[in-house]
Amino acid sequence: MTLSLNIPRLETDRLILRGPEAADFEPLCAFLMDPVRSAGFGTEETRSDAWRWFAVNIGHWALHGYGYFTIEMKDTGQPAGISGIWNPEGWPEPEVGWVVFDGFEGRGIAHEAATTARDWAYNTLGFTTLTSNILPGNTRSVALAERMGAWFERSYDNVHMGAEMLYRHPGPDALAEGAA
Amino acid sequence: MQVTVTIPELETERLILRAYDDARDLDRFSAFMETDASRFFMGPMDRYGTWKLGCAIMGHWMRYGYGLFAIEEKATGEFVGLTGVWEAETWPHPELAWMLMQDKEGKGYATEAARRARDYIFNDLQWTSVVSAIEEDNAGSMKVADRLGAKPDFEHTRPSGIKVIYYRHPAPQTAMETVQ
Q: Check B58 against A9: CB less than 8 A apart.
A: no
Q: What residue type is assigned to position A99 of the chain? A: V
CB within 8 A of A60, min separation 6: which ones? A66, A67, A68, A86, A87, A88, B55, B59
Note whether A154 contacts B: Cβ–Cβ < 8 A: no
Q: What are phi and psi of B6, to 5 degrees?
A: -105, 125
- Residue from the list A3, A53, A89 with its beta carbon closest to the beta carbon of B51: A89
- Residue from the list B5, B46, B58 with its beta carbon closest to the beta carbon of A63: B58
In chain A, the percentage of residues whose pLDDT exceeds 70 is 99
Quote ipTM for the complex: 0.85
Instruction: Give the pLDDT score at B83.
Output: 98
Convert B99-125 to b/e letters by CB count within 10 Å (16 or more is b): bbbeebeeeebbbbbbbbbbbbbbeee
Kindly report the nearest CA distance between residue A120 and chain B, in angstroms: 16
Assign B180 a pLDDT band (cuts: 50, 70, 90): very low
Distance between first and last Cα of chain B: 44
Assign B3 a pLDDT band (cuts: 50, 70, 90): confident
DSSP per residue over A51-82, as a string?
HHHHHHHHHHHHHHS--EEEEEETTT--EEEE
* In contact, A104 and A76? CB cutoff 8 Å: no
Note whether B85 contacts A: Cβ–Cβ < 8 A: no
* In contact, B48 and A88? CB cutoff 8 Å: yes
Predicted TM-score (pTM) of this structure: 0.90
Instruction: Give the pLDDT score at A114.
Output: 98
Give the model confidence (pLDDT) of B16-60 as tens digits.
999 999 999 999 999 999 999 999 998 999 999 999 999 999 999
Between CA B49 and CA A180 the distance in angstroms is 35
Chain mean position to CA B140: 14
**Mean pLDDT of all residues in chain B?**
93
Give the model confidence (pLDDT) of A100-122 as tens digits.
999 999 999 999 999 999 999 99
Q: Check B19 against A1: CB less than 8 A apart.
A: yes
Return the residue of A nearest to B1 by Cα.
A7
Q: In this structure, is the dihedral angle defined by the CA atoms of residues A139, A38, A80 and A176, taken in order, positive or negative?
A: negative
pLDDT at A83 over 70: yes
Kindly report the nearest CA distance between residue B68 and chain A, in angstroms: 13
Q: Check B52 against A58: CB less than 8 A apart.
A: no
Assign B124 a pLDDT band (cuts: 50, 70, 90): very high
Instruction: Give the pLDDT score at B160.
Output: 81
In chain B, the percentage of residues whose pLDDT exceeds 90 is 84
Interface residue of A43, A89, A158 to substitute, partner B, most B CBs within 10 Å: A89
Instruction: Give the pLDDT score at B175.
Output: 67
Return the residue of B nearest to A158 by Cα.
B48
Note whether A133 contacts B: Cβ–Cβ < 8 A: no
Q: Check A4 against B3: CB less than 8 A apart.
A: yes
* In contact, B53 and B73? CB cutoff 8 Å: no
Interface residue of B57, B68, B90, B95 to substitute, partner A, most A CBs within 10 Å: B90
pLDDT at B179 over 60: no
pLDDT at B108 over 80: yes
Q: Check A56 against B61: CB less than 8 A apart.
A: no
Higher pLDDT, B114 or B178: B114
CB within 8 A of B119, min separation 6: which ones? B175, B176, B179
Kindly report the nearest CA distance between residue B60 and chain A, in angstroms: 6
Return the residue of B nearest to A50 by Cα.
B90
Instruction: Give the pLDDT score at A33.
Output: 97
Give the model confidence (pLDDT) of A22-78 as tens digits.
999 999 999 999 999 999 999 999 898 899 999 999 999 988 999 999 999 999 999
Q: What residue type is assigned to position B153 of the chain? A: D
What number is the average pLDDT over the span B154-168? 91
In chain A, the percentage of residues whose pLDDT exceeds 90 is 88
Between CA A102 and CA A36 the distance in angstroms is 11
Separation in Å, CA A149 to CA A67, A136, A146, B160? 22, 18, 5, 44
Kindly report the nearest CA distance between residue A133 and chain B, in angstroms: 16
Question: In residues, how long is chain A?
Answer: 180
DSSP per residue over B37-89, as a string?
GGGGTT----HHHHHHHHHHHHHHHHHHS--EEEEEETTT--EEEEEEEE--T
Instruction: Give the pLDDT score at A93.
Output: 96
